[in-house]
Each structure stands twice: as structure tokens, then as C-alpha cells.
């Protein structure tokens, strides 16, 4: 017998080939297998959760609007006043709630106000362009960047107030999320189901301006004379409370970007900058102005009107401001100039009937746009929701840009 055959015979007859006398019970084998499956499932679930949180963290940090990307919100400045008081529930009129599946067709109404919850989804408020009775207002929503529109209901019994808020009616629409929105002017109405039902809220005066971001809504509310107070509420409920100390002289304006809130008034008003943690006073960029307007995307542009002309200023944080030196043929900007902030470095401006749409750099340089909306007509607003997507009303029509203002196309609201 050669060595290889001997080793093979020893291997086949070795006691080491015998199975153990005491085998594991079959139910213990099944239990062990089940435990291993549960452990593998738990590990896979934890890995998935980490991945979802990471994506959510990126989205939140980048300041995404619903569906699409938007600019990163600036950090909140240091503030000096104390924490805001606990909100007090706002009284409502239970018999004024509107709940309907859809609203009336657009029917040739003029665009008065636009609010967006993503780069593709936005809502337009329309009316006749001046004071009008109940039933003259329209709401329309687009979820495909303005290609098609769906009518939304408008509360019964309200109309448009005109140029300045009175004690009833509305002028503008704002949404702070896909579900939470407001109609405001003389009255304040809220919706928490995407604009399909509305509730009337009782406020101490007309709501001149309302903006929302980062889960909070902020409103300038008329007080005695031409004084205005700042109020705030969570976007998810209707518990409005006055912000202590923040009072300005009207006409005034409000800018909200993330947690940073800027309140600018006319005449002798101080500038207020803050957020949910409190507010601090600062020198106004528009001392003695008879009117002020703010426009915000990535930066804040202030238009200071004197009644005959206007001056422009730009700020990254609402506290420190730089003049925008604009050279014009007449030597000054018209008081009616419309400014749509796009970035810290530029804005789209429209000088009204005597002018056209142009790009204005922060250093004062003006340049033409490739395909602007038509000039030679009065306009109501220019507003960007991201540095690329913006809206403008001119001549009773609504225009949209998707390339930062270079080209614009008219939207068929009807």
C-alpha cells in the first residue's frame, strides 16, 4: 500500500467523521435563523434611515422649497430684545369659513399678487385692478410652472380694497407652505389645506404686508394713525401675537428670509432686524423717505421714495447697507421704479411707462435683457422666488422667467 492510499484509508475510517451524539433541536435552529433574519432587517432599516436623514438634512440646509431647490437662507443676526411672548389664539368668525372643491374661472381678471411654494407651484390672486365689490376676486394655482392653472375658491363676501388697505377686502396672497396660506389687506383670511377653505381672522387693524418663512408668519398691522405694529404666528395655526416694541411709520415694508426679519418704515422710523428670538433697532437706510419698498432673494434691496425720485440700497444682512449709484439721463430714478432682487450683485428693474426692463448691478451698471416683457406700460411688481425663477406684472399681464431675468414669457392665466 503506497503512502497516498494509506492516508486516504485513515481519513475515511477516522472517528472525526462521526456526528456529535447530541444534536441541536430543530426549533432552536429555526429560532437562530429567525434572529439572524431580524438582525439583518434591522441593520438594513437603520442604514435606510440614515440615508433618508442625510438627504433630508441636505434639503433643509440648502433651503429647498417643496419639490425644487431655492436659495440658502442667511443666518439670523444677533438681536437684543427678549423672547417673544406666547401667542394668543386669534378669534375667528366660524360662519365665514369657505370650503369648496374649486373656484370660479379667471374670467379676464388682472394679476394682483403672486406667491410660490416651489419653482413649479405658485398661486396668483387676480381682480379688476381697483376697489371692487364681493365676487370680483379670483385665485388660480399652477403646479407645472405656469403651463396650466386650476381655480381655487375665494371667501364669499370679500372684494378688493384698492391701493391702500381699508377695514375690509384683500390685496394680496401669501403661502408659507403647500398647505398654509393667507389672503390679506383690510381683512386677514387663513387656509391650512392648500387654499381650498378659508377662515376669517380678527386683527386689530388692516394687514399691510405679510410674509412667511422657516415656519413663522410675520405681518405689519395698522395701529393708530400711520403707525404699524409687527405681529407673528406659526404658519400651522392662527395664534397671532404682537411683537413687543417693533413699531414703524407707514408706508412701511417687511422682508423675511429664513429666520431673518427686516422691518422698514418711512419718515422718522428706525430699522428693525431680528427674528423669533427678538429684535434690535438700527439706523434706517431710508431716513426721511415718504415711501419704502423691500425686495429679497439672497440679499435685500431697499427702494426709498421721496415723492419725486427714488434711491436704492442693498444689504446682505439687513443691518449694513450700501448705496446703489445709478446714473440716468434725468439724474435720478423715478419714484415708481419696480425692483426685483435676484442676488446680492444684481436685480431686475422696471422704470415704468418711460422706461423698460433692465438688469441693475449693485455697482450701478445697467444692461439690457435678451427678451424682456414689453415696456411702456404701468407695472405692479417684479419678484424672484429663486435667483433663476421670477414673475413680473406689467400692462395687466403676468410674465415668468426661468433663466434669471434674461428671457420672459407671458402666462395664459385664463
Domain boundaries, the chain: 23-62, 94-410
The whole-number pLDDT of residue 3 equals 52
The pLDDT value recorded for residue 377 is 82
* 197 pLDDT more than 50: yes
Residue 199: predicted pLDDT: 95
Instruction: Output the pLDDT for position 276.
Output: 95
Q: What mean pLDDT is predicted for residues 79-89?
A: 37
Give this prediction's pTM.
Answer: 0.76
**Which of 246, 300, 298 lies closest to 270 in space, CA to CA?**
246
Band (136; pLDDT cuts 50, 70, 90): confident
The CATH number of domain 94-410, selected from 3.20.20.210, 1.10.3720.10, 3.30.450.20, 2.130.10.10: 2.130.10.10
Q: Which residues pair with 329 in a beta bridge?
A: none
Instruction: Assess whether pLDDT exceeds 50 at residue 54.
Output: no
Reported confidence tier of residue 66, pLDDT bands at 50, 70, 90: very low
> What does the longest C-alpha to C-alpha distance in the chain come to?
120
| Residue recorded with cell 364669499 | 156
**279 band by pLDDT with thresholds 50, 70 and 90:** very high
Whether the Cβ atoms of residue 96 and residue 128 lie closer than 8 Å to each other: no
- Dump pLDDT digits (tens) for 292-347: 999 999 899 999 998 888 999 999 999 999 999 987 665 678 888 999 999 989 99
pLDDT, position 56: 23
Q: Sheet containing 260-264: which strands, arranged edge to edge?
A: 253-257, 260-264, 271-275, 278-282
pLDDT over threshold 80, residue 37: no
Question: Is 244 in contact with 200 (CB distance < 8 Å)?
Answer: no
**CA 153, CA 156: separation in Å to the nearest integer?**
9
- Who contacts 320 (Cβ-Cβ below 8 Å, separation ≥6)? none
Q: Assign 353 a pLDDT band (cuts: 50, 70, 90).
A: low
Amino acid at each position: 500500500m503506497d503512502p497516498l492510499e494509506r492516508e486516504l484509508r485513515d481519513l475515511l475510517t477516522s472517528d472525526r467523521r462521526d456526528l456529535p451524539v447530541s444534536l441541536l433541536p430543530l426549533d432552536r435552529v429555526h429560532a437562530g435563523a429567525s434572529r439572524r433574519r431580524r438582525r439583518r432587517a434591522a441593520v438594513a432599516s437603520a442604514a435606510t434611515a440614515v440615508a433618508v436623514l442625510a438627504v433630508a438634512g441636505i434639503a433643509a440646509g440648502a433651503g429647498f422649497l417643496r419639490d425644487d431647490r431655492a436659495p440658502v437662507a442667511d443666518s439670523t443676526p444677533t438681536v437684543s430684545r427678549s423672547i417673544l411672548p406666547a401667542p394668543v389664539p386669534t378669534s375667528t368668525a366660524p360662519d365665514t369659513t369657505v370650503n369648496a372643491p374649486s373656484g370660479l374661472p379667471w374670467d379676464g381678471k388682472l394679476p394682483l399678487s403672486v406667491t410660490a411654494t416651489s419653482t413649479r407651484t405658485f398661486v396668483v390672486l387676480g381682480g379688476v385692478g381697483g376697489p371692487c365689490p364681493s365676487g370680483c376676486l379670483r385665485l388660480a394655482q399652477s403646479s407645472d410652472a405656469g403651463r396650466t392653472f386650476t381655480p381655487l375658491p375665494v371667501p364669499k363676501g370679500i372684494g378688493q380694497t384698492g391701493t391702500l388697505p381699508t377695514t375690509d377686502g384683500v390685496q394680496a396672497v401669501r403661502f408659507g407652505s403647500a398647505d398654509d396660506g393667507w389672503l390679506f389687506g383690510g381683512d386677514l383670511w387663513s387656509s391650512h389645506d392648500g387654499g381650498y377653505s378659508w377662515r376669517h381672522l380678527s386683527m386689530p387693524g388692516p394687514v399691510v404686508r405679510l410674509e412667511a418663512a422657516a415656519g413663522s408668519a410675520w405681518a405689519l398691522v395698522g395701529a393708530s394713525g400711520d403707525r404699524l405694529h409687527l405681529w407673528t404666528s406659526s404658519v400651522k395655526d392662527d395664534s397671532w401675537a404682537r411683537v413687543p416694541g417693533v413699531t414703524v411709520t407707514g408706508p412701511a415694508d417687511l422682508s423675511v428670509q429664513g429666520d431673518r426679519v427686516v422691518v422698514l418704515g418711512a419718515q422718522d422710523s428706525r430699522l428693525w432686524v431680528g427674528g423669533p428670538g427678538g429684535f434690535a433697532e438700527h439706523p434706517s437706510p431710508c431716513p426721511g423717505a415718504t415711501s419704502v419698498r423691500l425686495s429679497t432673494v439672497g440679499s435685500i434691496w431697499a427702494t426709498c421714495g421721496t415723492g419725486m425720485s427714488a434711491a436704492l440700497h442693498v444689504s446682505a444682512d439687513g443691518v449694513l447697507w450700501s448705496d446703489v449709484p445709478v446714473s440716468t439721463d434725468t439724474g435720478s430714478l423715478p419714484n415708481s421704479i419696480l425692483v426685483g432682487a435676484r442676488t446680492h450683485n444684481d436685480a431686475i428693474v422696471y422704470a415704468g411707462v418711460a422706461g423698460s426692463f433692465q438688469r441693475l448691478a449693485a455697482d450701478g451698471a445697467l444692461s439690457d435683457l435678451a427678451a424682456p416683457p414689453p415696456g411702456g406700460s404701468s407695472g405692479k411688481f417684479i419678484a424672484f422666488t429663486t435667483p433663476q425663477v421670477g414673475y413680473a406684472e406689467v400692462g395687466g399681464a403676468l410674465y415668468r422667467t426661468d433663466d434669471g431675468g434674461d428671457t420672459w414669457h407671458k402666462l395664459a392665466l385664463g
